[in-house]
Amino acid sequence: MANKTLDYENYTILIIDDDSTNLYVLISSLETSGFKVIVANNGELGVKKAQIEQPNLILLDVMMPGIDGFETCRRLKADEKTKEIPVIFMTLLDSNPNKIKGFDVGGVDYVTKPIYHKEVLARITTHLELRDLTVKLNSKVEELTQTRYLMMQQIEELTETRHQLVQSEKMASLGRLVAGFAHEINTPIGVAVGAASTLHENVGTIDQLLEQEEVDEEELVGKLNNIKEAANLTLSNLKRASLLVNRFKNTAINQSEESLRQFQVKSAIFDVINSLHRHFENTVISIQVDCSKELSIHSLCGALEQILTHLMINSLVHGFEAGKKSGSINIVVRLNGDNLHFEYSDTGKGIASEHIENIFEPFFTTDRTHGASGLGLYMCYNIVTTQLRGTITCESSPGKGVLFKIDYPNNIKRYQ
């Protein structure tokens, strides 16, 4: 007896054979082992029974009236309902060409007549085990395929969510820029409006003086001097407002465009500092910049400005506790071969060692209760590594501030 590794009672065998003696032997042997057995005495009937009964395995005689075993097997393998059922041929023909023909039409094995019980049981057991393993494997593949599909859907959803959050953070960054600009431009505009009001009043006074029969020359000269001072004050403050508008326009465009252009690094740094002046004006935080005025590079100006904006806001909010603590921010820019080397440091409270490895991960923050999104440093990392093809590292310890080092390649030219 073959080792019984299967519960044969759970399996159905279809025998297609016109030899009644062979059928009797097989039916008796297989039913004794526990199989459910169904029978067909020709190929056409065998195909129909296979379609209806869906047996686990088919024993198929080669030589039969009507269609032979080879044609029967072809039809079974051409039908979606029966093509996966393993077929074992039974034959008196033991020649290699017939065996090859049987394998070509889809058979999995051969047994020769007269049937030997132990041999046929061993072959049936082997192919039922293989079939079960194939079914389980296909099921697992289908399950994994479905899981992969669901994971791809989730990745797409997460990617879209991340994109939306990054865009929201960009808008928040632009919002801070707009708020700073509005605050900065309010002062010169207010002064200009006040000076214009003084101009209007003095012109009215001069009109009244000129209507009099006698004009007080000293008073008239005084009013004209007032008009001159007010006009100069209006002009200087409108020029200042115009300069602020141009700086804001350049910074806003730079933060949204991706085109490469030549720009002066120090000028770009001070555009960001000026745009964030409102955030720092009521704090005791000093900002020092060590960068050559002549340093000009061909790169993404907006990318550099976005990085610096996020780093400065991060220092203000986290390092100096929203400006409640004093300290300094230091920015050092140098050329290092063909790379721009950018160092940003502050003297804030620093970062705990267990958090250093996580600071560039999206949504990581230790201050979510105060509205931190955890996207600022992630965006810096993404801009440096993806847009600028560079590297960014952070060194820090509690109470000793932070040091960010950024290096990225550039086509750099010096302008005198």
Q: Phi and psi of 300, rounded to 5°?
A: -100, 100
Which of 62 and 356 is assigned the larger pLDDT? Answer: 62
Burial of 381 (0-12, 13-18, 19+ CB in 10 A): buried
Per-residue pLDDT at 122: 92
Q: What is the DSSP string of 333-400?
A: EEEETTEEEEEEEE-SS---GGGGGGTTSTT--S-GGGT--S-HHHHHHHIIIIIS--EEEEEE-TTS
Q: Phi and psi of 144, rounded to 5°?
A: -65, -35
What residues does each domain of the chain span?
Answer: 8-115, 257-414
pTM of this prediction?
Answer: 0.45
Q: Model confidence over 249-285: pLDDT tens digits?
A: 555 555 455 567 888 999 999 988 987 887 888 899 9
Share of the chain above pLDDT 90, in %: 35
Q: How confident is the model at residue 413 (pLDDT cuts 50, 70, 90)?
A: very low
For the cut 60, the answer to whether the pLDDT of residue 53 exceeds it is: yes
Q: How confident is the model at residue 328 (pLDDT cuts 50, 70, 90)?
A: very high
What is the distance of C-alpha 362 from the center of its chain?
10
DSSP single-letter state for residue 318: I
- Whether the ω angle into residue 97 lies within 30 degrees of 0, i.e. cis, is no
What is the distance of C-alpha 302 from the center of its chain?
22
| Mean pLDDT, residues 187-200 taken together | 77
Which of 93 and 194 is assigned the larger pLDDT? Answer: 194
For the cut 60, the answer to whether the pLDDT of residue 370 exceeds it is: no
- CATH number attached to the domain at 257-414: 3.30.565.10
Bridge partners, 328 (sequence order): 286
Per-residue pLDDT at 15: 95
Q: Residue 55 corresponds to which amino acid? A: P
Mean pLDDT (the chain, rounded): 83
Per-residue pLDDT at 31: 92
For the cut 90, the answer to whether the pLDDT of residue 73 exceeds it is: yes
Per-residue pLDDT at 221: 80
Identify the top-confidence range among 176-180, 214-218, 255-259, 357-361. Answer: 357-361
Share of the chain above pLDDT 70, in %: 82
Q: Model confidence over 296-324: pLDDT tens digits?
A: 888 888 888 888 988 998 899 888 988 88
In angstroms, rounded to a whole number, what is the distance separating the alpha carbons of residues 39 and 241? 98
For the cut 80, the answer to whether the pLDDT of residue 245 exceeds it is: no
For the cut 60, the answer to whether the pLDDT of residue 218 exceeds it is: yes
For the cut 80, the answer to whether the pLDDT of residue 242 exceeds it is: no
- 3-12, 81-90, 267-276, 313-322: lowest mean pLDDT where? 3-12
Query: Could you tell me where the beta strands, DSSP code E, fall in 155-265?
Result: 261-264
Q: Model confidence over 36-45: pLDDT tens digits?
A: 999 999 999 9
Report the DSSP pairing between strands 285-290 and 327-336. Answer: parallel
Q: Phi and psi of 115, rounded to 5°?
A: -70, 130
Which of 247 and 380 is assigned the larger pLDDT? Answer: 380
Hey, do 8-115 and 257-414 end up sharing a CATH topology, with the first three levels equal?
A: no
In angstroms, rounded to a whole number, what is the distance separating the alpha carbons of residues 151 and 157? 10
For the cut 70, the answer to whether the pLDDT of residue 129 exceeds it is: yes
For the cut 50, the answer to whether the pLDDT of residue 140 exceeds it is: yes
Report the DSSP pairing between strands 411-414 and 295-299. Answer: antiparallel
Per-residue pLDDT at 414: 39
Secondary-structure class of domain 8-115 per CATH: alpha beta
| Mean pLDDT, residues 83-103 taken together | 85
| Mean pLDDT, residues 404-410 taken together | 90
